[in-house]
Chain A
Amino acid sequence: EDQVTQSPEALRLQEGESSSLNCSYTVSGLRGLFWYRQDPGKGPEFLFTLYSAGEEKEKERLKATLTKKESFLHITAPKPEDSATYLCAVQKGGSYIPTFGRGTSLIVHP
């Protein structure tokens, strides 16, 4: 059974304090790993798709990396507006249905 585990469940940072969120997964034949951001009362907003180990993608202060067992979402010098829940999802080959983790709730204090 595909499993996606995100850690930590919650993270509090001071503005400018860089950190990383973790997404570990077990899936046979990874087709893709996705990161989403979700603000309260809204649907998830797509950030990145990673397809193979060693791949990296960046967007503003966010950088996502992928290994064969986990992905990291690095947040560099975060700002309060980066506060949100970050969701990770994996999709295995032959399936069109991503499996989501429970997310990491990030709060960045000014």
Chain B
Amino acid sequence: GAGVSQSPSNKVTEKGKDVELRCDPISGHTALYWYRQSLGQGLEFLIYFQGNSAPDKSGLPSDRFSAERTGGSVSTLTIQRTQQEDSAVYLCASSLAVTDYGYTFGSGTRLTVV
């Protein structure tokens, strides 16, 4: 597609439920990033994938968070046993290569845990 696509755009879930957020990067982009943006906060890095290399998971806040990227393309971020503090906008970005700093962001998934 022409841009980075994220789904769903909005998600309301009950505390304790699991959620899956999807990111479809720009075709051919080898690097994929997940960030989290809370109200009034900067973008918080979560995880990145580069080609077939092992992902950098150093930003994941707890073991309830995991992500995978299948076939070097679509990525899914999974949050298990959601908590209210997980409420935020989850942003995905992709780029041609890790050294290409012009990341293209999707519009994000707004997650609300009630």
Contact = CB atoms under 8 A, between A and B. Distances in A.
Q: SS class of chain A's interface: helix, strand, loop or mixed?
A: strand
Contact of A96 (B56, B91, B102): B56
A102 B104 CA distance: 19
B65 interface: no
Contact of A32 (B35, B91, B101): B101
A91 B45 CA distance: 12
A97 B105 contact: no
Interface of A: 4, 32, 34, 36, 41-46, 49, 87, 89, 91, 96-103
Interface of B: 4, 31, 33, 35, 40-43, 45, 48, 50, 56, 58-59, 91, 93, 98-99, 101-108
Given A46-B104, A89-B43, A101-B42, 17 more contacts: A34-B101, A42-B107, A43-B4, A43-B91, A44-B43, A46-B102, A49-B101, A87-B43, A91-B101, A96-B31, A97-B56, A97-B59, A98-B101, A99-B45, A100-B35, A100-B43, A102-B40
B35 to A, nearest CB: 8
Nearest to B59: A97
A103 B42 contact: yes
B9 to A, nearest CB: 9
13 contacts: A4-B42, A41-B107, A43-B91, A43-B107, A45-B105, A46-B102, A49-B101, A96-B56, A97-B45, A98-B45, A98-B101, A99-B45, A102-B42
Given A34-B101, A49-B101, A49-B102, A100 B42 contact: yes
**A-B CB proximity, top 4 nearest:** A43-B105, A100-B43, A100-B42, A102-B42
